[in-house]
Structure 1
């Protein structure tokens, strides 16, 4: 997938973007398989929507940003973690580091709280946070709520997004 190949004028010639719904529709289809007015894009294996324009494949959320702002984003964060919600109000241009501060809770998480895990060797809850390629240990706690508070305080201190760790 590429950026910087298509111009904003060409994009707007081919597609209409509805920023309230977060969807693209064809104005001028580039294939016989689609018609003007049809929704543009197909699901990608990673859950994102892709759109093929002039032989190049683009991620719809990046196109949405480019369509509205006229510049290519560094990295797009879906604020609500829904990879198909391409409403401009749900997208933010961010660095990779900041994008990592707004992740869904991993499906391997057993505590239900990001950065909190059971330390079986000590029989306590442990809390940690990842900052600038370092894992920072926040402490071990008898009560899971104390471990959760330590992580929540660290999230604020290190400017993690308020949705970080949501399901």
Structure 2
């Protein structure tokens, strides 16, 4: 486990890290750590390796992240690194807490209107398998089928939220 507590100070109110020591000439002690990468995560460089700030914070609180696990932002805000917003998950769990895609037209993950048949289709994907939940005459029925499937498969309550 890396001893990040020697390098960083964690602010539990903001979820931000500050530099305790200058690890290079460009670092000012007391300044905030990281920059936002193209995916929206705060990242920094430690000992020549680029790493997500959320991963550092997790390891400062809970120890090394086991192989095959990721740190999930529960509320989907990628720069909200408060420890209560972070959880350790495997890829399957991570996929059960995703934001709704921008191109979604129904407003509900896994529910779509089928113009050709004038019905609403509900489906769900879990562990790499897509399951058709049915075709429904109305939006509400399709949504209900999707919710039942999410609960039975252990999806996070924030799945499909913004």
TM-score interval (norm. to shorter)? over 0.9
Q: List aligned pairs for 1:1-150, cutoff 5 A.
A: 7-8=2-3, 11-73=4-66, 74-150=69-145
Q: Counterparts of 2:22 and 2:110 in 1: how far apart (Å)? A: 47
Tell me the alpha carbon deviations over residues 10-53 of structure 1, each in whole angstroms, 9 at most, x when there is no partner.
x2111111233111001101122221111011111111011111
Q: Counterparts of 1:127 and 1:83 in 2: how far apart (Å)? A: 28
Partner in structure 1 of residue 153 of structure 2: 158
Q: Counterparts of 1:45 and 1:21 in 2: how far apart (Å)? A: 22
Post-superposition offset of 1:66: 0.4
Post-superposition offset of 1:84: 0.2
Determine helix, strand or coil for the equivalent of 1:152: helix
Tell me the alpha carbon deviations over residues 105-153 of structure 1, each in whole angstroms, 9 at most, x when there is no partner.
0001000011000112211011000122111111111110111111011
TM-score for the superposition, normalised by structure 2: 0.94
Q: Counterparts of 1:80 and 1:31 in 2: how far apart (Å)? A: 33
Q: Counterparts of 1:25 and 1:44 in 2: how far apart (Å)? A: 18
Determine helix, strand or coil for the equivalent of 1:92: strand
Could you list the runs of 5+ residues in structure 1 that have no partner in the other structure?
none
> Where has structure 1 moved over 6 Å in runs of 4 or more?
none
TM-score for the superposition, normalised by structure 1: 0.92
Q: Counterparts of 1:104 and 1:125 in 2: how far apart (Å)? A: 21
Determine helix, strand or coil for the equivalent of 2:140: helix
Q: Counterparts of 1:39 and 1:132 in 2: how far apart (Å)? A: 38
Q: How many positions carry a matched residue from both structures?
A: 160
Tell me the alpha carbon deviations over residues 49-97 of structure 1, each in whole angstroms, 9 at most, x when there is no partner.
1111121111111111001112225111100000000110000000100
Asked if 2 retains the 8 angstrom alpha-carbon contact of 1:15 and 1:25, the reply is yes
